[in-house]
Amino acid sequence: MSAVFIISAPSGSGKSTLVRHLLRSDPNLVFSISYTTRAMRGQEVQGGSYHHIERAEFEERIARDEFLEWAQVFGNYYGTHRGIWDRACAEGKDLLLDIDVQGAAQLKKRIPDAVSIFVLAPSRQILEQRLRDRSEDSEAVITRRLAAAAEEIRNYERYDYVVVNEVVQDAVETLHSIIRAERVRRQRMEDRIRPILDTFAALMHTSSGEK
């Protein structure tokens, strides 16, 4: 079964950059393209970062129970389609999701084995600076995003890992380490271990009960 890695972070934490680095360097990871009712912005294309759909269609899909999880974030619907998980399993790939704290909690209930990672900017001041540097948002939106960040950060304890994104390359390395270790833990490398145990078989029989 595929491993599931959830990454959550307040906007401005540099999460998208980290996700891009991970996907570029790990061919066994596939990104979960969410459905959203948010309008496309900037360079976005349909089916790129998101499948953009109307609210009515999203609500119909909720009614048909098509989502593994869904939530409203900043007034828009976002959801992870069930098909994503089925496809990743069929392809033998691990799944990487960039979803908010509400979605992460729902997904953990559905897939308890999912690994959750919270990404934090090193401070409020740095987060604010990053939001301003993006120059994507108005002053009012920046204020709203900072307030939302303060709320989201309170949930960090519910995550399996917290990664501070101070230097991108270091954070990417840490994320790779988490992914590598979790894969080993899951597979437990049974295929490799059994032949090794076989080489000890004779000793195991003769030494049983002896000190």
Residues that bind ligand 5GP (CB under 6 A): 11, 34, 38, 69, 71, 73, 78-80, 98-100, 102-103
Cβ 186 to ligand 5GP, closest distance in Å? Answer: 23
Of 65, 84, 91, 61, the C-alpha closest to 5 is 84
Cβ 66 to ligand 5GP, closest distance in Å? Answer: 12
Name the residue with the smallest CB distance to ligand 5GP.
103
Cβ 119 to ligand 5GP, closest distance in Å? Answer: 10
| Cβ-based neighbours of 205, under 8 Å, separated by 6 or more | none
Q: Distance between alpha carbon 69 and the CA centroid of its chain, in Å?
A: 13
Query: Per the structure block, which two tokens stand in for 68?
Result: 């593994």
Nearer to ligand 5GP, 2 or 11 (CB): 11
- Report the half-sphere exposure of 99 (CA within 13 A, side-chain side): 35
| Cβ-based neighbours of 159, under 8 Å, separated by 6 or more | 8, 104, 116, 117, 118
Nearer to ligand 5GP, 154 or 211 (CB): 154
Nearer to ligand 5GP, 98 or 182 (CB): 98
